[in-house]
């Protein structure tokens, strides 16, 4: 028999079992001791000789729900007790023979097409509920925005594609339990099976739960993202209550109401909703489309990890910015990849059936018929063609250059017709699941702890000004190391540097080390932080260090407008030249990226923001 695991969720589970014979049922109940609190015995095809009363009396550690959906029974040969519920359909009066039992007054939708007056049904259920009874309403919802939760209904959830979302929301709203099934033995469409539920929700579901999900069309129910997220969370934050569910959506306006009501911590977003995600967020991704929304309190920040995932998957196979990349397709995922590639100085082009849709993307743009494939050595297939839902091949019968890199963003099936064709041409075929994993890694890091953005650069390059405004834009804390040092040590930086530079640099390095431990913030350093070897080592190890590069004339103009004590015996212009020349190699050594801060503050902030969130 399968061995199941007891978890914090155990008291919130009702396992629904089709009863086949008594011996098998006893084996199943023995294995379930402590794993679930309640067992629903589906008696639709149970043998007539089944000794129900002996089962109930022999397993007092379970609550039992007796249910025959095919032909509701008017009586059971079972003693009534607090341990036993009888499930009775609300479309007929409760028989007098069942009044001795606690009753679950239930209503089930038959299909997705029929329109029901759910409010009246809820009222009817509540009207017949006696003390100790429960009311159950099972809607049929393929889209999450169609699910309606009724506060007076104890067990309110759905069958269909939106079932998993509805069941978690029901628990979050204090449902007494959630029905689950044995693997491959669903008793209702969309149930979690018991192993999955106990793996995903080991810490229970309640007010402390971080609710997340993946948004898409009806096909999102087959997404691998829930498995990736729950596995990673179990390792990274084993004590955290966490739920990540598929969210099939048809009506975005209605879904936005769901977002506000449920207060999702994070949302992954698939096609066709990536453009919507970027426009919905209070802080856009900067790429025109987004596939990840991260809560920042009352609003959301949008991120695009399609480009990160695609280029990292290619890099795993030797891709560098010197390669010539062709992106096939010009939908939301393609746009994200192209913009990220351009941001990282990759030579990228696009080809598509309708090239006019990507005419303003800032890169060469071709139709499928005019593109010359031999001009490229790296290819990304960024359409849905070739997926299980849309079989086919975007460039059938066309050879790719031998030794090229070929990535298909489709991951179901694992190897598409296009990838098979690429492999036959001698190209390195990279499956979409590899990109999916890299994309997930990027989102997971954003969700858990985004490394602080550290600004370095010369005095007057704009670290404090840009840093504060960027922090305000992103709604994140701002740490000014010079100000923190002055506050902590009650010494002015200029006096401290002139009297005991070695002591200052040592304290500065200690302050930097402490500040780098704070995720999700913006840190402005002093211009001379790179003068210290220990500080340089800390910055080199940090993944988000941005150099504010500014020409010397602009630095001099800014310092003349906002005078500061001199750092050397030289005149201001010569002082800037001497210090800048000494530090340039160190700045380059420590920086992961750079921004031209002689631009307007708005342009500089936008460049810094894109670097930080991607």
Beta-carbon contacts of 168 under 8 Å, excluding residues fewer than 6 positions away, are 178, 205, 211, 243, 245
pLDDT over 90 at 570, yes or no: no
Tell me, what's the pLDDT at 283? 79
- Across 249-253, 280-284, 387-391, 580-584, which has the greatest mean pLDDT? 249-253
CA dist., res. 552 & res. 459, Å (int): 11
Is 152's pLDDT higher than 60? yes
CATH architecture of 207-304: 3-Layer(aba) Sandwich (3.40)
429, 422 in Cβ contact below 8 A? yes
What is the dotted CATH code of the domain comprising 449-613?
Answer: 3.40.50.300
Pairing of strands 324-328, 266-269: unpaired
**Does the bond joining 413 to the residue before it have cis omega, within 30 degrees of 0?**
yes
pTM: 0.78
In this prediction, residue 451 carries a pLDDT of: 86
312-443 belongs to which CATH class?
Answer: alpha beta
Residue 492 has pLDDT above 70, yes or no: yes
- Flag whether pLDDT at 568 surpasses 80: no
The residues facing 243 across adjacent strands are 211
Q: What is the pLDDT of residues 415-448, one digit of tens each?
A: 999 999 999 999 999 999 999 999 999 899 888 8
Through-space distance between the first and last CA atoms of the chain, rounded to whole angstroms: 48
Note the pLDDT of residue 473. 76
Query: Residue 345: which region, alpha, beta or left (left: phi > 0; alpha: psi -120 to 50)?
Result: left
Is the CATH number of domain 1-204 1.10.3720.10? no
Categorize the per-residue pLDDT at 614 as very low, low, confident or very high, splitting at 50, 70 and 90: low
Can you tell me the distance from the alpha carbon of 122 to that of 292, in angstroms, rounded to the nearest whole number? 36
> What is residue 2's predicted lDDT score, i.e. its pLDDT?
63
Residue 564: its pLDDT value, please? Answer: 67
Report strand pairing: 292-295 vs 266-269.
antiparallel
Contacts of residue 298, Cβ cutoff 8 Å, sequence gap at least 6:
none
Distance between CA 209 and CA 520 in Å, rounded?
21
pLDDT > 70? residue 565: no
Per-residue pLDDT at 450 exceeds 60: yes
User: Which structure tokens are listed for 33?
Assistant: 């001791």
List pLDDT tens digits, range 256-285.
999 999 999 999 999 899 999 999 998 788
- Per-residue pLDDT at 275: 92
Res. 559: pLDDT tops 90: no
Lowest mean pLDDT among 11-15, 84-88, 281-285, 382-386: 281-285
The average pLDDT across 473-496 equals 88
- What DSSP character marks residue 97? G
d(C-alpha 148, C-alpha 144), whole Å: 9
Tell me the pLDDT tens digit for each residue of 168-180: 999 999 999 999 9
Q: What is the pLDDT of residue 563?
A: 67
pLDDT tens readout for residues 586-597? 999 999 999 998
| SS3 of residue 589 by DSSP | helix
Average pLDDT for the chain: 92
Cα torsion for 532, 535, 540, 545, to the nearest 10°?
Answer: -110
Domain ranges of the chain: 1-204, 207-304, 312-443, 449-613
Q: What whole-number distance in Å separates Cα of residue 139 and Cα of residue 118? A: 8
Using pLDDT thresholds of 50, 70 and 90, give the confidence band for residue 574.
confident
pLDDT at 231 over 60: yes
Quick one: what percent of the chain has pLDDT higher than 70?
98
For residue 445, the model assigns a pLDDT of 83
| pLDDT range class, residue 1, cuts 50, 70, 90 | low
- Is the model's pLDDT at 147 over the cut of 80? yes
Given this model, what pLDDT does residue 60 score? 94
482-507 in b/e burial notation, b at 16+ Cβ within 10 A? bebbeeeeebebeebbeeeeeebbeb
Residue 584 has pLDDT above 70, yes or no: yes
The pLDDT value recorded for residue 137 is 98
Q: Matching CATH topology for 1-204 and 312-443?
A: no
Residue 544 confidence class, pLDDT cut points 50, 70, 90: very high
């Amino acid at each position: 028999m399968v061995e199941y695991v007891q978890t914090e969720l155990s008291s919130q589970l009702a396992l629904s079992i089709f009863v086949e014979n008594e011996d098998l049922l006893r084996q199943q109940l023995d294995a379930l001791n402590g794993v679930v609190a309640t067992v629903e015995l589906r008696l639709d095809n149970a043998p007539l000789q089944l000794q129900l009363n002996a089962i109930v009396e022999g397993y007092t550690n379970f609550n039992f729900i007796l249910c025959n959906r095919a032909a509701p029974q008017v009586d059971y040969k079972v003693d009534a007790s607090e341990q036993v519920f009888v499930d009775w359909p609300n479309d007929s009066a409760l028989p007098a023979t069942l009044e001795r039992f606690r009753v679950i007054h239930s209503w089930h939708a038959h299909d997705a097409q029929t329109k029901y007056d759910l409010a009246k049904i809820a009222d009817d259920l509540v009207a017949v509920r006696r003390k100790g009874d429960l009311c159950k309403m099972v809607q049929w919802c393929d889209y999450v925005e169609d699910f309606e939760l009724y506060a007076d209904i104890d067990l309110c959830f759905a069958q269909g594609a939106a079932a998993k979302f509805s069941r978690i929301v029901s628990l979050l709203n204090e449902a007494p339990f959630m029905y689950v099934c044995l693997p491959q033995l669903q008793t209702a469409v969309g149930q979690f099976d018991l192993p999955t539920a106990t793996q995903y929700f080991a810490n229970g579901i309640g007010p402390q739960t971080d609710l997340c999900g993946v948004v898409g069309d009806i096909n999102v129910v087959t997404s691998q993202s829930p498995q990736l997220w729950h596995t990673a969370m179990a390792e990274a934050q084993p004590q955290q209550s966490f739920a990540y569910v598929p969210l099939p959506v048809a009506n975005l306006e209605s879904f936005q109401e769901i977002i506000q009501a449920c207060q999702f911590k994070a949302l992954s977003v698939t096609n066709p909703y990536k453009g919507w995600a970027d426009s919905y967020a209070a802080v856009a991704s900067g790429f025109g489309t987004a596939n990840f929304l991260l809560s920042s309190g009352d609003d959301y920040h949008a991120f695009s990890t399609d480009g990160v995932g695609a280029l990292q998957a290619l890099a795993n196979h030797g891709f560098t910015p010197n390669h010539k990349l062709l992106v096939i397709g010009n939908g939301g995922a393609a746009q994200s990849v192209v913009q990220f590639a351009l941001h990282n100085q990759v030579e990228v082009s696009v080809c598509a059936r309708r090239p006019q849709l990507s005419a303003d993307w800032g890169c060469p743009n071709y139709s499928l018929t005019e593109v010359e494939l031999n001009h490229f050595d790296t290819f990304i297939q960024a359409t849905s063609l070739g997926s299980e839902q849309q079989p086919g091949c975007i460039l059938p019968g066309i050879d790719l250059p031998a030794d090229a890199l070929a990535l298909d963003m489709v991951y179901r099936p694992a190897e598409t017709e296009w990838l098979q064709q690429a492999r036959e041409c001698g190209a390195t075929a990279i499956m979409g699941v590899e990109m999916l994993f890299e994309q997930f890694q990027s989102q997971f890091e954003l969700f858990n702890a985004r490394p602080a953005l550290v600004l370095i650069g010369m005095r007057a390059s704009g670290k404090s000004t840009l840093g504060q405004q960027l922090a305000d834009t992103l709604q994140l804390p701002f740490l000014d190391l010079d100000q923190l040092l002055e506050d902590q040590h009650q010494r002015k930086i200029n006096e401290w540097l002139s009297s005991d530079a070695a002591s200052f640099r040592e304290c500065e390095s200690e302050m930097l080390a402490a500040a780098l431990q704070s995720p999700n913030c913006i840190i402005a350093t002093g211009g001379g932080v790179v003068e210290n070897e220990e500080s340089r080592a800390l910055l080199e190890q940090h993944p988000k260090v941005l150099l504010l590069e500014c020409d010397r004339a602009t630095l001099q103009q800014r310092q003349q407008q906002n005078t500061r004590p001199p750092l050397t015996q030289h005149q201001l212009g010569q002082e800037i030249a001497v210090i800048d020349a000494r530090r340039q190699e160190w700045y380059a050594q420590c920086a992961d990226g750079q921004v031209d801060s002689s631009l307007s503050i708005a342009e500089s902030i936008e460049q810094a923001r894109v670097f930080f969130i991607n």
